[in-house]
Amino acid sequence: MLIGQFWGTGAAEGIPAPFCRCSGCEYARKMGGKEVRLRSCFRLTDSIMIDLGADAVVQSIKYGEITGVNHVVVTHTHDDHLNPHMLMESMWAQEKEEYRYRGTLHYYLTDQAFEIVEHWRNNPWILKGKVREFEEKGYIAFHKQEFGQRFEIEGIGFTPLRGNHRGNVGEDAAMYLIELSDGRKLFYGLDSSTYYPETLKALKEHHIDIYISENAVGALKNAEPHPSHMRLCDVRELAEALFNQGTIDGNSLLYLTHINHRSTHKENEEGVKELNFPVKTIVAYDGLKIF
């Protein structure tokens, strides 16, 4: 069953950020609501999550349990997106007879990102050194994917495309072109600076109905270009390029997520209006359901 809910729309620090008293964080503390952002995570269907990161336990308390989730499609290995503790939580749910209600939890990592699985397997400090044992018992399974190669989970197609953003093992982040079971195409584009030409070229072959883009630096005024993330003005340029090559059109929706603490939800909404995006553009917020 398709769900399509943003479980987190913040960048790595969350909003308000724990160690910060900047005007954006103080505003979020005062206003609450859409100004507060947990770390990025997306509930695609009842059984598939995109990322299960630093705030996964809190998100499950807020938005519902994930006993039905058997697949986690990972964008990259940064801690805000990938949290090995969740493997431990899933293991407990299978080890104990009274909680045993589910099958293997499958994790999908692309290209070099898979190296982190080898680190986990060989590290006695991660998950009490039990990663191999969990794999052997069938509690968890890791699947290595390749950029540009489509794979399928429960009738939904996923093609990872290269993001211009380096994860913890030096890998390029994966952005996913997703073919939904109802025929619509969704793009989940976190995290990336200005796109690689090969990624734009791959997108030229597709019409995307729902385009989700990172907007980490957001509407912060006078921000310098960022080596691994985008400002709202960079997303505007990307939208124009995608529009001109037919990837998005007047029927497409663009959602902005993975926003850092330096600009507020309100400022991002005002920025979207000012910049006059070529397609309908919505600043996402935690809990927003889009299917």
d(CA 259, CA 263): 8
Among residues 22, 31, 57, 61, the one that binds Zn ion under rule CB under 5 A: 22
> Which residues between 31 and 70 bind Zn ion (CB under 5 A)?
none
Q: Does 235 bind Zn ion (CB under 5 A)?
A: no
Instruction: Choose between 17 and 52: whose C-beta lies nearer to Zn ion.
Output: 17
* Region from 17-25, 30-38, 51-59, 94-102 binding Zn ion, contact rule CB under 5 A: 17-25
Among residues 3, 8, 17, 218, the one that binds Zn ion under rule CB under 5 A: 17
Q: CB–CB of 77/116 below 8 Å?
A: yes
d(CA 159, CA 175): 8
Q: CB–CB of 212/255 below 8 Å?
A: yes
Give the x-and-dash track for 182-201 against Zn ion (CB under 5 A): ---------x----------
Among residues 20, 126, 200, 233, the one that binds Zn ion under rule CB under 5 A: 20
d(CA 249, CA 101): 44
**Residue 118 tokens, joined:** 């080898």
Identify the three-state secondary structure at position 33.
helix
Q: Are strands 151-153 and 156-166 parallel, antiparallel or unpaired?
A: antiparallel
* Region from 74-82, 88-96, 140-148, 281-289 binding Zn ion, contact rule CB under 5 A: 74-82
Identify the three-state secondary structure at position 163.
strand
d(CA 243, CA 85): 40
> Which residues between 142 and 161 bind Zn ion (CB under 5 A)?
none
Number of residues that bind Zn ion (CB under 5 A): 9
Among residues 43, 236, 261, 265, the one that binds Zn ion under rule CB under 5 A: 261
User: Which residues make up the interface to Zn ion (CB under 5 A)?
Assistant: 17, 20, 22, 24-25, 78, 80, 191, 261
